[in-house]
Amino acid sequence: MKKLLIILCCLLAICRLSLAQTETDLLLANEYYGQGEHEKAVLLYEKLAKKQQFIYEIHKNYLDALLKLQKYEEAEKYVKKQAKNFPTEGFFNIDYATVLNLQKKDKEAAKQLDEFTERIQKDDFLIRRNVNYYLQGNFYEYAEKLYLAGRKNGQDKYTYELAHLYALWGKMDKMIHEYLEVVNAYPEQAENIQNVLQMRVRDEEDFDKLETILVDFIQKYPEQPAYTKLLVWFFMQKKQFYNAFLQAKALDKRQNLLGDQVLDIARTAFKNKDYNSVVKCCEYLVTTYKGLAIYPTAKRMLVEAKEEQIKNTFPINKQKIRQLIDDYNSILAELGLNGSTAESARNMALLQAFYLNNKDTATVVLQKIIESRQAGVRQDFIDQAKLDLGDIYLLKSEPWEATLLYSQVEKTQKEKNLGHLAKLKNAKLYYYKGDFEFAKSQLDVLKTATTREISNDALHLSLLISDNLELDTSATALSEFAAIDLLVFQGQLDEALSRYDAFLGKFTEHSLTDEVYWAKTSIYLKQAKYSAAITALEKIMKDYSEDILADDANFLLATIYEENLKDKNKAMELYQKQLADFQGSIYTAEARKRFRALRGDAVN
């Protein structure tokens, strides 16, 4: 018995020593591999490979080291053995196919993959366990075969998995099909599918595929509204708001949605300045939902969209302005002055003052808004009306009344956007009066305003003042320029043009000259005098090419040729010049986009 115990102890000690040596070899092999000493690593891995319990630990590094040393035959022999020992383990079987492919043994590799796929395709557990190895080896075709075979098992449709595979494979039409099939089975997943499609469908060509496939699904499953909702979302992504409206209208009627989605489309279209689509949306809403909660908002937005169309069509048609005022009066007569209609009253007042010169009528309307707290009008809107009233006093050349109102809003809306706007208006008022030092001190405070438009306006005017005071301490030219700016604000455009011409004759080669031509361009565009606008812009580009307005002038000139004169070739030439001569301009991205669109490229 003692002898037997001694023998057992000796055997146990030997086993422990052997195991310790093996673990040392494994650590050393991994260290050699990590240091790039692949020859030394292979010698140790080869020894360890004889012990099957270490195969999973050494496989990845061992095979990689053999391939880096280009020992393909040894690699093939090793991995073939493991594939035989583990017939349902993709870890080895797919690596075996990879090694065969590296040796240009494509037929043998295909046979290996076919056999392995057939071996595991009846077992969903093996499918899920092994399919990632196909993906890692870029064997997408075999991964597809495996998923489709698994689909026949009846336990799982593998829809999300197939969609992911097709995304990796670049087969976007198949990917879209799989994701849309999910929606039919699980409509509650439609929003998730929408988010995935938004992330994965990027190219214009793929967007076109998505539209076609969505239409097919709507025809295939006419009772499934989720597909129509997805088509609405698709058109919104493309900024095709009218098409989105048509689909949303059909859905609205079918599901009695009370116009909410149509109104959302109208709001987004308004932000994107697609006023034609806004008009179509709102005409549907005011016709369909009169008397309901959505009606006042839709009616107001309808008139506001028409207003934007009219105000951006030059020269301004005053008869259409009068029709707009009648429309606003109709809203107020029907609904009264309250929180939802105050915007209409304000718009009507501004049209009266700035387009029809009915300043006293506008004053009465704004005073009613300011005094209408009991009607549910918000305080910030009342303060906005005070700023508007201040502007009208400035139109009437009553600056002290204007600054009183601006200052009131500065105090009540301190550190808010409306307060910053009030300070900007006050600064401009002092600029118009020629008090440039005080104006600049106020403008400098606004350089850090939260609204970019306000801070940019403040910065531009501050630089204009400082640059010209340095060159002309008497400020004679700047005073004249500011006085003409006030005429422009007051809508006395012909008088302003005459004064600008006199300025150019009196202050020849002044630093404000390019600003004068830029201001004249703005007036010419309002008067639809495109030839005169082009002449002024070309003057800036020719004589002031190194100044700050040169790239603005080039881009504006390009848009005139594109949008107003419909001269595609000239516009393309100028956009190309923008990209070549004004690199780093804020217009670079838009110029590139417009150039490509005119050239006929697919633009995202």
What single string gives the DSSP state of each residue in 146-159?
A: HHHHHHHTSS---H
User: How many CB atoms within 10 Å of residue 595?
Assistant: 21
Contacts of 13 (CB under 8 A, 6+ apart): none
Helix (H) or strand (E) segment spanning residue 432: helix 417-433
Q: What is the pLDDT of residue 387?
A: 97
DSSP H helical segments within 238-273, as ranges?
A: 241-255, 260-271
* 305: phi then psi, degrees, rounded to nearest 5: -65, -40
Mean pLDDT of 521-527: 95
Give the whole-angstrom CA distance, residue 285 versus residue 295. 7
Give 9's pLDDT tier (boundaries 50, 70, 90). Answer: very low
Residue 465 CB-density burial (10 A; 0-12 exposed, 13-18 middle, 19+ buried): buried
Domain 512-599 of CATH type 1.25.40.10:
yes
Q: What is the pLDDT of residue 473?
A: 64
Give the whole-angstrom CA distance, residue 16 versus residue 57. 20
* Angle subtended by helix axes 241-255 and 260-271, to nearest 10: 170
Q: What is the 3-state secondary structure (H, E, C) of 326-380?
A: HHHHHHHHHHCCCCCCHHHHHHHHHHHHHCCCCHHHHHHHHHHHHCCHHHCCCHH
Closest CA to 297 of 256, 331, 325, 273: 331
Contacts of 351 (CB under 8 A, 6+ apart): 307, 321, 324, 325, 328
User: How many CB atoms within 10 Å of residue 173?
Assistant: 12
Closest CA to 424 of 437, 405, 439: 439
* 447: phi then psi, degrees, rounded to nearest 5: -60, -25
Helix (H) or strand (E) segment spanning residue 64: helix 55-68
* 234: phi then psi, degrees, rounded to nearest 5: -60, -50
The per-residue pLDDT for range 27-75, each reduced to its tens digit, is 888 888 888 889 988 898 888 888 888 888 888 998 889 999 999 999 8
Q: Are 369 and 337 in contact (CB under 8 A)?
A: yes
Closest CA to 226 of 195, 184, 268: 184
Helix (H) or strand (E) segment spanning residue 49: none
Closest CA to 193 of 221, 238, 163, 166: 163
- Does the pTM exceed 0.95? no
Give the whole-angstrom CA distance, residue 426 versus residue 407. 7
Q: What is the pLDDT of residue 373?
A: 72
Q: Are 234 and 210 in contact (CB under 8 A)?
A: yes
Give me 346's structure tokens.
Answer: 């304000």
Q: What is the pLDDT of residue 457?
A: 93
User: How many CB atoms within 10 Å of residue 73?
Assistant: 11
- Among the ranges given (44-58, 135-149, 229-243, 401-415), the one the predictor scored with the smallest mean pLDDT: 44-58
- Among the ranges given (77-81, 191-195, 274-278, 598-602), the one the predictor scored with the smallest mean pLDDT: 598-602
pLDDT above 60 (res 523)? yes
User: How many CB atoms within 10 Å of residue 559?
Assistant: 16
Give the whole-angstrom CA distance, residue 456 versus residue 450. 10
Q: What is the pLDDT of residue 604?
A: 45
pLDDT above 70 (res 92)? yes
Alpha-carbon Rg for the chain in angstroms: 37
Question: What average pLDDT does the structure give for the chain?
Answer: 91
Mean pLDDT of 126-143: 93
Contacts of 594 (CB under 8 A, 6+ apart): 558, 559, 562, 571, 575
Distance spanning both ends of the chain, measured CA to CA: 87
The per-residue pLDDT for range 411-452, each reduced to its tens digit, is 999 989 999 999 999 999 999 999 999 999 999 999 887 788
Mean pLDDT of 535-547: 94
Contacts of 350 (CB under 8 A, 6+ apart): 362, 388
Cis peptide bond prior to 315, omega within 30° of 0:
yes
Q: What is the pLDDT of residue 138?
A: 92
Q: What is the pLDDT of residue 16?
A: 47
Helix (H) or strand (E) segment spanning residue 404: helix 399-412
Closest CA to 250 of 218, 281, 219, 228: 228
Give the whole-angstrom CA distance, residue 75 versus residue 81. 10
